[in-house]
Amino acid sequence: MAKYRKLGRTSDQRKALLRSQVTSLMYKGRIVTTLARAKEVQKIADGLIALAAKEKDNYETVTVSAKVPVKDKDGKRVKEVVDGKKITKFETVDKQIKKDLPSRMHARRQILRVLYPVVEVPTTNAGRKRGTKQVDLVGKMFDEYGPKYANRNGGYTRIIKIGQRKGDGAMEVVLELV
């Protein structure tokens, strides 16, 4: 007996399907899919959340100094003339950043191996590159899901059956984070 469902697809198609569904589940919190797919996605998602919950506090806070351009009231960079050339004026600012310890970095890379990158596109200027932003899903898992599920021993997702699909009669379910 196999350790996983083949879902009627070749291995590369199956892996891509499961990765995309796990990514959607982590990003949106719930997805609607078939029962067989949901059971496979549930295995992967629970493992990732357990990893994020285990490594949630494994970082150190470091103060770094960064050069930031000075901006005027309109948000444009302030330029000054030096030796006949316009040069952007910079100021030094101290920032607090989280530096991952080695085990958390390893966990971050394991999670990144499964999740696809997510880009949010604004609805007002749909289809335009301007205003899009990259979503840090791994950061969301460590900062949101890690503390949320820290005291829970497994069972981070639930499957709710909603009935059969009209086209092929497959059992449809809602897979959501608890």
Report the CATH number that the domain containing residue 18 is assigned in CATH: 3.90.1030.10
Residues 106 and 96 in one domain: no
Give domain status of residue 6, yes or no.
no
Beta strand pairing status for 171-177 and 157-164? antiparallel
Read off the pLDDT of residues 30-64 as tens digits, 9 standing for 90 and up.
999 999 999 999 999 999 999 999 999 999 999 99
Read off the pLDDT of residues 126-157 as tens digits, 9 standing for 90 and up.
666 777 889 999 999 999 999 999 999 999 99
pLDDT for position 135: 94
Other Cβ atoms less than 10 A from the Cβ of 150: the count is 12
pTM given for the model: 0.84
Q: Of the residues 73, 100, 127, which one is the last residue of a structural domain? A: 100
How many structural domains is the chain composed of? Answer: 2
Residues 47 and 133 in one domain: yes
Residues 160 and 118 in one domain: yes
2 Cβ neighbours under 8 A, 6+ residues apart: none
Sorting pLDDT into bands at 50, 70 and 90, what band is 82? confident
Residues 96 and 173 in one domain: no
Read off the pLDDT of residues 15-27 as tens digits, 9 standing for 90 and up.
999 999 999 999 9
